[in-house]
Amino acid sequence: MRFVLRRLGHAAFLLVGVSVLAFFFSTLAPGNYFDEMRLNPQISAEQLSALRAEYQVDRPMAVRYVRWAGAVLQGDLGFSFAYDTPVAPLLWTRARNTLLLTGTATLLVWMLALPLGVWSAERLGRPVDVALSWATAVLLIIPDLALALGLLVLVVRSGWLPTGGMVSVGFDTFSVVHKLQDVALHMVLPVTVLVASALPVLLRHVRAAVAEALQAPFLRAAEGHGISRRRLLYRYVLPAAAHPLIALFGFSIGTLLSGSLLVEVVMSWPGLGPFLLEAILARDLYVVIGGVLLSTLFLVAGNFAADLLLYWADPRIRAETTGR
């Protein structure tokens, strides 16, 4: 329990630290939202200064931070200058779209990497394993951008799948089933790119972890007891191989919000990435900070989950931390 509390403490500290830095750097960036407006002849100077007063852009940074932090704790992420609505709901819709994409992709990657990794680790060095290694190496080398654009071109030419966006025209008129189908079709391309870029790395890690577990002396000893291969794999090998993978899993969770920026931009997926990009360019302060905070939250949560899993899975770590 002390372990959990300590980790939570670290997480909270990290979040606060990130929020301070994000706030600091954002306000440090030259200019603010209203500078753009000055160029607009239709807005008078008085209107401008009224707006500025309303949004309190001229108060000292520390004060603004404290007000903002207080608001965040109550669930209010501030106000977007550009959209003139609270930040939280804006972020939330976008984040949801991103999670749909990355969640599916992450699930697929793990579902593919685990069995493939185990399979090739068992056949280490043999022709099939070597072939698979080459295939993943090729996939690793191809830049995400090239892959995304390449697939887009293919799809445009052939017309098999929609070319970007999340929904087709007239979405609101579709039946529920048709809606689901529509979104699913739109997801195929971006998810494919995401999976293709994450799979090689994870596959290699799984393969390495399982291969190492397969060499362990305790496996030979267990074999000597006449335990079946199947049982050996599930009860002995996988748990032993799990530890490096748990850290990776935490990382997977951590990058759920932040890993898909490129794909979203190229494929016009209405996710968090493009939205934040826009906000940064427009100096929409509270959107930017809110977005950064949300991403960090996921990262921290992912790490925290990994720590907890590892603590639960490995009694040696438990012993270390309780000083037994």
List contacts with other proteins (CB under 8 A): 216-218, 220-228, 231, 235-236, 239-240, 313-316, 319, 321-324
Radius of gyration over every alpha carbon of the chain, rounded to an integer in angstroms? 25
Nearer to other proteins, 6 or 38 (CB): 6
Least CB distance to other proteins at residue 320 (A): 10
Nearer to other proteins, 213 or 289 (CB): 213
Nearer to other proteins, 61 or 221 (CB): 221
Residue type, 260: S
Eight-class DSSP state of 139? H
Least CB distance to other proteins at residue 323 (A): 4
**Dihedral sign, Cα of residue 180, residue 181, residue 182, residue 187:** positive
Structural tokens at position 251 = 């990382």
Least CB distance to other proteins at residue 219 (A): 8
Confirm if 258 and 296 have CB atoms less than 8 A apart. Answer: no
Which ranges of 215-284 would DSSP assign to H, the alpha helix?
217-224, 229-231, 238-254, 261-266, 272-281
Beta bridge partners of 86: 79
How many Å apart are CA 255 and CA 91, to the nearest integer? 16
Residue type, 227: I
Residue type, 29: A
Least CB distance to other proteins at residue 79 (A): 45
Least CB distance to other proteins at residue 177 (A): 45
How many Å apart are CA 121 and CA 279, to the nearest integer? 46
Nearer to other proteins, 82 or 227 (CB): 227
Nearer to other proteins, 89 or 315 (CB): 315
Least CB distance to other proteins at residue 8 (A): 18
- Give Cα 109 to chain centroid, integer Å: 13
Nearer to other proteins, 70 or 315 (CB): 315
Least CB distance to other proteins at residue 231 (A): 7
Nearer to other proteins, 63 or 319 (CB): 319
- Give Cα 45 to chain centroid, integer Å: 42
10 Å CB burial of residue 63 (0-12, 13-18, 19+) is exposed
DSSP three-state, residue 57: coil
Nearer to other proteins, 59 or 235 (CB): 235
How many Å apart are CA 16 and CA 2, to the nearest integer? 21
How many CB atoms are located within 10 Å of the residue 148 CB?
Answer: 22
Least CB distance to other proteins at residue 36 (A): 54
How many Å apart are CA 139 and CA 176, to the nearest integer? 36
